[in-house]
Structure formats: structure tokens, C-alpha cells
Amino acid sequence: MRSTQHGLSRRVVYYATTAALLVSCTTEQTAEQTPDRATRGGGNGAASLCQRTAQGEAGDLALARCLATPELAPDKGGGNAPVTVYFDRSGSMRGFLDPSYPTRVRTDYRSVIDRLIVGLAPSRGFSYGVELRRIEPTLATLGNREFYTDRDTRTEHALVEIGRDSTGSASHIIVGDGRRGSPTSGDAQFVRMRELADRWIDGGGSFIIATSLAPFKTVATDPSGCRRTTAGAATDPEPQTCPLYAFGFVAAGDGARIAATLASVFEHVFVWPAPTIPPMQLGVVPMDANRRDVRVERRWATAARGTPVVCVRGDSATNRTLGATITVRDTSTAEGRGYAAVLAGQRVDIRMYSRAFTPAAATQEWSPVEARGALIRPGAATQDGMLSLDLVTRGANAPVSMYRIDLMPGGAPTWLEQFDAEDTSDVLRTYGLGRLFESFRKRANNGAAPPLARFFIVAS
């Protein structure tokens, strides 16, 4: 009799525990403490089954969170490596320091000097031209036109000094106009810079280029300096500008800080390897907020690590596409503006994958999606260069699919054609600049680069 009672007692405890577990799956819980209330499984580890235990919108939200895997891990930041700066001392740089240029212009050379000195607090400074010389990196020194008197720009001297940092323990920033006295020298400097960048990247660091068309006045005594064409000098009503560059060899973990600083005073930024944009920074914004036939719920759900899950749906089917831009959500901070500049500066291939929106899909691989006929399609870049998607819906009663959107870096900047000279007769753009990106493109084409960003869309 005691044995029977003991067995009954164990069964009561078992059923009570099971009931409690079932109740817990349909009770609101925090992601940090317990699994999602309407699913079990999923996550970023090994594939497991997502089990739906709630119906309607609550079940859909939970299933989306369970299926939104794998997520990208943000780059480890927080670096604060010492910084060494190198400034071009050649006479052509005097053109960026005309006294009439106001320092309130963000891309003015004096603004660039001030921001680099104040924002990065360099521990060492050099000038390069005819030779490499130690300098005190201050605005008083570098903002003086009489400082720029050399008749050569031997960038290779700065590269040799950077190469001595074999452990990549510091970040190194070269500032100059990138111009050389001959095509051979121009090609050679960028090939050598690329080779050093490849070694630096293999050691765990990153390479960054920032550039602007900065206010400039032709230096008549410098035949190799930037200038307007003869026709342009007489007919162009716009103020004269010329390319100004910062080339950075960045210590591991220091990329976000350096990118944010350079983005504050340069128009364009390119980083390789492309950093992973933090998932919570991503946003999808419809171009026509008044459209009601295709609805975009931008923050419909969030995966375990903060990756957005966007919902696209409508009451009835339509093939009239709704454009939506891919953006960095918060550009009110220096870090956010840095990520926005990185996204805008990288040539990106939008790759799409899908799987069924069912619990069993957690054990299935994502399948590549052909754009034709898909609910989500890569769109044309906007006039200001933003990435976009084209969205349609099959209506409220249509099957639901889940999409994974990967932004794959192409290894070259979006702004390259604007700055890279096609031949030696170009008096504005920079000869040989395109050489810098040859190995980056190769790495990207070989599939060696991880996604720049990733997010998910549930669509019907």
C-alpha cells in the first residue's frame, strides 16, 4: 500500500511540474531569464526545433525570434590604442590653407587637423615629403602655410615607419593629397600601401581611407598639384575643391573610434575588413510612409542579440512595389555617424535567403532567393547612394515566408570613380588610387569577407 501511494505521489508531482512548464510557455517572460513564451528551441547555437505553443500574433512574434538565426556578433570595440600621425609636407598642401577659407566648413583642412589632434590625441607626429621628420602635431604647426615647402612627397618613408610596428600595437594615420610627380611614383606608392595594408590586416588590424573634396586654391609654383582644367577655371562658378585623404592603419579593436573621428571631418569613409554594424543600429525605412497597401513594421520583433525582424504585409495582394531604404537608425552619436559613413562608403551586394515560417524550419538551411518573383527584392540605390529594397505583398491570407538579408561588402568604395584618375592628364583626381583596392576586391570575391550587416524580414 505504501508503495502504491508513493508511486501516485510521484505521478502527481510529475504532472504538476509538467503543467507548470506548459503554463510558463504562455506567460510573459524576459529573454534574459527564460525561453520565449511561445516557442522553445532556436537561439544561436546548434539547430533545434521551435515549438509553437501560442496562436495568433503572439505566436508569430515568438516564432520569428526563434527562427532569426544565426545572428552576427558585433566587433569587439573599446580600443584606445596610441595614435601616430603623418602629415604631407609638400608644397601642394598649401592650397588647402588659403586664409579666406572659413574653419566652420567641416571638410576644411584646418578642421581636419583640429579634429584629428583633439579627437585622437596623437602620441607621436611626423611630416613626410623629401624626408621623414619628427614634429609636434599641433594646429599651430600644421595650420601654418609656411610649414608646407617640400618639393616631393615620399609617402614610402611614412610606410616604412608604420611597418616597424610589427605587432600592430598603435594606430597610424597618414594625411595628404595623394599626388605624386609622376605616374610611376603614383602607382608605386599605392601598391606599396596596399601591400602593407594586407600585412596589417593579416595581423588582426584594419585599413581605413577617408576622403573629401576639400576647399582648395591652386598653388601656382607646384606643377604636380591639384588644379582646375583651363576651361573649368573660367566657367565653373563653384568654389574650387581638391581631394584630401586620410589613410589609416588601425590597431585591432580601435576601428569604431577611428572611423567615428574621421567621419566627422571627411565626406567619405571606407574600411577593410568591413566592420560588422551592430544589429540594433540597423533600420528599414519605407520611402512612402503614406502607403497602406504594403505595410512595413520596422521593429516588429527583435532576435536574441538585438537583430531587427521586420514585418511586411498587406490586406490584399499587390505587385506595386514599395521602396524601403536600409539605414543606420541613430546618427545622433559620433559612433552612429561613423557606422553610417562606413555603410555608405562600401560597395555592397544584397544577398537574400529564405525558409518557411514554420517551427520545423529551425532545423533547415537558409536557401538563396532569386529576386524575380520574390516578395523582397534588392532595389536600386537612391540618389544619395543609400541601399534599398523593393517590397510587395500577396495579402493577408497568403503563405508567410521568412527572409534573411545579408549586406556583403564588395572590397571597393562607392566613391572610387569620383576620385580615381583614369589617366595622367587628370589634374583633379588621384592617379593610382584604384590600385589600393585590388586585393580587397579579391578577398571579397573569394567569399573571405563576412557580412557587413544582417537582418530578417517576415513577409506574406
35-59, pLDDT tens digit by residue? 333 343 444 443 467 877 788 999 9
Strands in 268-272's sheet, in edge-to-edge order, are 132-134, 124-128, 83-88, 171-176, 241-250, 206-215, 268-272
Lowest average pLDDT, out of 36-45, 83-92, 103-112, 361-370, goes to 36-45
Query: In the predicted model, is pLDDT for residue 75 greater than 90?
Result: no
Residue 100, classified by CB atoms within 10 Å of its CB into exposed (0-12), middle (13-18) or buried (19+), is exposed
Query: In the predicted model, is pLDDT for residue 26 greater than 60?
Result: no
17, 20, 14, 56: which is closest to 38 by C-alpha? 56
| pLDDT above 70 as % of the chain | 86
Q: Supply the mean pLDDT for the chain.
A: 86
Instruction: Using alpha carbons, list the distances in angstroms from residue 51 to 25, 367, 385.
Output: 10, 21, 42
Query: In the predicted model, is pLDDT for residue 184 greater than 90?
Result: no
| Residue 456 β-bridge partners | 309, 404
Contacts of 146 (CB under 8 A, 6+ apart): none
Give the model's pLDDT for residue 36. Answer: 38
C-alpha cell of residue 141: 604647426
Contacts of 47 (CB under 8 A, 6+ apart): 362, 363
Query: In the predicted model, is pLDDT for residue 387 greater than 60?
Result: yes
Query: In the predicted model, is pLDDT for residue 447 greater than 90?
Result: no
Lowest average pLDDT, out of 5-19, 38-52, 62-76, 225-239, goes to 5-19
Single-letter amino acid code for the residue at 257:
R
Contacts 24+ apart (CB under 8 A), 288-295: 288/322, 288/323, 291/322, 293/318, 293/320, 293/393, 294/318, 294/320, 294/321, 294/322, 294/391, 294/392, 294/393, 295/393
Instruction: Using alpha carbons, list the distances in angstroms from residue 25 to 13, 58, 59, 206.
Output: 19, 11, 11, 45
Give the model's pLDDT for residue 47. Answer: 46
Lowest average pLDDT, out of 145-149, 214-218, 225-229, goes to 225-229
Each residue's pLDDT tens digit, 151-162: 889 999 999 999
Query: In the predicted model, is pLDDT for residue 1 greater than 90?
Result: no
Under the banding of pLDDT at 50, 70 and 90, the label for residue 223 is confident
Contact at 8 Å (CB) between 127 and 86?
yes
Under the banding of pLDDT at 50, 70 and 90, the label for residue 325 is very high
Query: In the predicted model, is pLDDT for residue 233 greater than 70?
Result: no
Question: Mean pLDDT across the stretch 318-340?
Answer: 94
Query: Could you write out the DSSP letters of every residue in 284-301?
Result: EEES-TT--SSEEEEEEE
Give the model's pLDDT for residue 339. Answer: 95
Lowest average pLDDT, out of 36-40, 239-243, 273-277, 332-336, goes to 36-40
Give the model's pLDDT for residue 373. Answer: 86
Give the model's pLDDT for residue 48. Answer: 60
Maximum separation of any 2 CA atoms in the chain, in Å: 111
More confident residue, 105 or 67: 67
| pLDDT above 90 as % of the chain | 70
Q: pTM for the full model?
A: 0.86
Residue 398, classified by CB atoms within 10 Å of its CB into exposed (0-12), middle (13-18) or buried (19+), is middle
